[in-house]
Amino acid sequence: MNQYLQHYIGGEWVDSTGTETKIVLNPANEEPVSEVVLGTDADVDKAVAAAKAAFPAFAETSKEERLALLGRIQEAYAKRIPDVARAISQEMGCPISTASTAQSGAGMAHIGSTMEALKGFEFSQSTGANKVLYEAAGVVALITPWNWPMNQIVAKVAPALAAGNCVILKPSEQTPGSAHIFAEILDAAGVPAGVFNLVQGDGPGVGTALAKHPGIDMISFTGSTRAGIQVAKNAADTVKRVHQELGGKSPFIVLPGTPLDLALPAGAGGMLLNSGQSCIAPTRFLIHKDQYEEAIEKLSAIFSGKAVDDPAKEGDHIGPVVNAGQYEKIQGLIQQGIDEGARVATGGPGRPAGKDKGYYVQPTVLRDVTNDMTPAREEIFGPVLVVIAYDDVDQAVEIANDTPYGLGAYIAGDPATASKVARRIRAGSVFVNSGGLDFNSPFGGYKQSGNGREFGKFGLEEFMEKKALIGQVPEDAPPAEMI
């Protein structure tokens, strides 16, 4: 069993002031795979002190120095991809083939996109006779989830460092291994002591301490809407900036007359990826009533044909969901949908055939769903698709927007029509005809899916303060990071 019983604070691996630990079970076999220490308020105090001490010097580093640092991180990260992938696969159940590519690769991609954004970023911009200086926010706390560990960690750490901040990372206690390895990567890359700190722990402990801490200037959180609300409440008394990427219930609108053989496979693949445990997964398929039965038949074939197997095996299958609590939640939502009048087109409650151990969920398609049913309203976070019929495009847009969430949306069909529909959707990202994530485009949500944006130059700006410099300013005055 892997043990992660220390934090990384001030450039050193240090023991926690607490002794409580958590055992992480491998979701494929329900056997212990990792033990992680649960940090304390005192550990957070130490990390904040280390970050505050390091901030003045690091905030004054030049763009070139930060680019060189990111380059060293990128080089060190590439060497550890197999280790990162193995940890992700064992702790949250992602098949090793996906963990070695999409999961681990997201970290490399974010470092690269951040470097490109930093190269072109102007820390001093003119407003006519005056100037605006972009300066580091300060000491930043980063709280990340378990479902895409490296994607979320690096999407925050890379731009935060590029902007000149010092950071404290609290990863999910469900996936401590990949975060521990990431800290080793940054140490190997020569990140100055105190600039990056890792405090392992859970939300009620370390997460709450970070959100409330008066020494932290900004908090960036990715997770559930419920947890995000609590983070914001805890941060309110110190009036720190709160940036959040929260839940989603993304619609997939198939426009009338669209060839289903072209539209459905990509959407279904996006839904099944990572066993449905993606905040931006297209979980509600909206199909015109004239194509509904055909769509159900094709979607049932795709979902029933998707293998569910051991994440340690290479292959094009999905693995288990992350833990027992998530498994039970998914089972309850499937049953609730049935009780409310939905019908199972394929899959349904219980484990797949041949799986009597592990948190495996049958790929499930629920048909005859209306948008007021619980599975259409709540974020399921599993391989469960709801399929809703609509009468016309106006109704499809109405259904798509009838959700407290607004993280993503998908449209398949005629590009000209899709472009018009996209402008009517209240979501932070709209993907048209199988368009995928772009790490240079802004990522974030409307409504209860959060606030602020990540990725590329947009994520870089989120970790900065804007200072107006008004009056007689020489034209050749150096930018803030060069002073």
pLDDT level of residue 435 (50, 70, 90 thresholds): confident
How is residue 130 annotated by DSSP? S
Catalytic residue among 91, 166, 279, 454: 279
User: What are the φ and ψ backbone dihedral angles of 97, each rounded to 5 degrees?
Assistant: -65, -40
Instruction: Answer whether 109's CB lies under 8 Å from 439's CB.
Output: yes
DSSP letter for each residue of 302-350: HHHTS-B--TTS-SS-B---S-HHHHHHHHHHHHHHHHTT-EEEE--SS
Give alpha helix (H) positions in 174-224. 176-188, 208-212
Strands 196-198 and 364-367: unpaired
Cα(383)–Cα(366) distance, integer angstroms: 11
Evaluate whether 2-246+449-477 and 250-432 have a shared fold. no
Burial of 214 (0-12, 13-18, 19+ CB in 10 A): exposed
Q: List pLDDT tens digits, range 47-96.
A: 999 999 999 999 999 999 999 999 999 999 999 999 999 999 999 999 99
Is 245 labeled as catalytic in the residue annotation? yes
**Could you tell me the pTM of the whole model?**
0.95
Q: Assess whether pLDDT exceeds 60 at residue 275.
A: yes
Instruction: Answer whether 184's CB lies under 8 Å from 63's CB.
Output: no
What pLDDT score was predicted for residue 82?
Answer: 98
Q: What percent of the chain has pLDDT over 90?
A: 96
Q: Assess whether pLDDT exceeds 80 at residue 483.
A: no
Q: The domain 2-246+449-477: what is its CATH number?
A: 3.40.605.10
Q: List pLDDT tens digits, range 383-420.
A: 999 999 999 999 999 999 999 999 999 999 999 999 99
Q: List pLDDT tens digits, range 221-255.
A: 999 999 999 999 999 999 999 999 999 999 999 99
Domain ranges for the chain, please list them: 2-246+449-477, 250-432
Q: Give the closest residue to 114 by CA, choosing from 153, 60, 163, 65.
A: 163
How is residue 81 annotated by DSSP? H
Q: List pLDDT tens digits, range 84-122.
A: 999 999 999 999 999 999 999 999 999 999 999 999 999
Catalytic residue among 91, 173, 245, 481: 245
CATH assignment of 250-432, among 3.10.20.440, 3.40.1280.10, 3.30.9.10, 3.40.309.10: 3.40.309.10
